[in-house]
Structure 1
């Protein structure tokens, strides 16, 4: 057994090498598995964000079209909501809400991360409030009878759309924290440092843009 001590360093080196290789492989495969778990959720949330942006554009267009009708009615003493362009604009708003509804329905089948799922539920409630407000006016605001009703409707939808957009931004923030692409520890630290530098930069810009008190002398 005099040869045993002489081979122990080789055996120990082989074991250490095998453990090191296993550790590196496990980390790589774990990151790959984690990203495969997160990727469909990111896609679903990205579709929700796209549908939300489309909805916000349609809301602005419909608001502008309705307010133009109000301004025209005040100058001509006649309210006309039967124009083809107005009807097409309001119809596009309705279609956008349906597309957002579809994106959320797909999201319920895909998003499983608890914080993201909760943020998605909050945003969906706000979307439902928009659809309820639109349905309560009949055929997409074309059945409103007075200028005051139209203005109230426009302000209501504007406020609801703004809250919905904020809720979706909350969902995106949760997704950034929970289902962003899997990364190594070094890059995670670099992103954290970058986030801190961006925050400091924004604070400096806000301080520079804030109005300075004028002297009373």
Structure 2
């Protein structure tokens, strides 16, 4: 038996080879997509980690500087200030790596929104204000305001990146994830599917 002059057995081989090629192509494409997304996820993870460390250092600095009423030593206060300044530089470095690594347009745009808010925080937290008690409240207000906005921008960055940079999945798991997200949003309507946030900075209402 033939079809278009080609024996049926040969057609079976052609169809089988085509299906094998298609499956292999899809598998390799998934691997390539994962390889494309992985360094971007890592870069964004570094930004999140550095921003959280900055908030911890800020809290410790205000505590050691006596702005919260704690009795402390001058050496401890100076050490905490240096750690805060180092944390600022670590956030700057993390964003610099992100700018060189993140190529997904929507993720890049939100990352840069977060970076510009970080830049405002860096410019507004004038370390010289700590030397004069009359500027303490201004320092705390600037630090708290921009830290909280930065926190929200980074949370939005995670939201934007969730579908674009998460590991590639089969269609079945995509359906399961969609159902899981719907359940989360139904259970926590005030938060929806937002990423867990880090504790707020000093004066932000959370410890």
TM-score range relative to shorter protein: 0.7 to 0.9
Report the equivalent of 2:28. 29
Tell whether 2:99 aligns with 1:108: yes
TM-score (norm 1): 0.79
* Runs (4+) off by over 4 Å: 3-7
Structure with larger RCO (C-alpha < 8 A, sep 6+): 1
The TM-score with structure 2 as length reference comes to: 0.83
SS in 1 for 2:130: coil
The 1:151–1:38 alpha-carbon spacing in structure 2 relative to 1, beyond 3 Å, is same
Cα pair 1:59 1:158 within 8 Å, conserved: no
SS in structure 2 at match of 1:151: helix
Instruction: Count residues in correspondence.
Output: 191
Deviation at 1:166, TM superposition (A): 1.1
User: Match of 2:154?
Assistant: 168
Cα deviation for residue 59 of structure 1 reads 1.5
| Larger Rg belongs to | 1
2:116 to 114, 125, 150: 125
CA contact 1:38–1:181 (8 Å) conserved in 2: yes
Q: As a proportion of its length, which structure holds more helix? A: 1
Q: Where does the alignment leave 5 or more consecutive residues of structure 1 unmatched?
A: 74-80, 207-217
Mapped pair 1:198 → 2:189: no
Give the structure 1 partner of residue 74 of structure 2. 83
Change (3 A) 1:47 1:72: closer
State how far apart, in whole Å, the 2-side matches of 1:43 and 1:115 are: 17
- Indicate the SS of the match to 1:55: helix
- How far apart are residue 119 of structure 1 and its match? 0.7
Shift in CA distance, 123/182, structure 1 to aligned 2, threshold 3 Å: same
Rounded to whole Å, the distance in 1 between the matches of 2:29 and 2:19 is 15
Compared with structure 1, are the counterparts of its residues 205 and 172 closer, same or farther at alpha carbon in structure 2 (3 Å cutoff)? closer
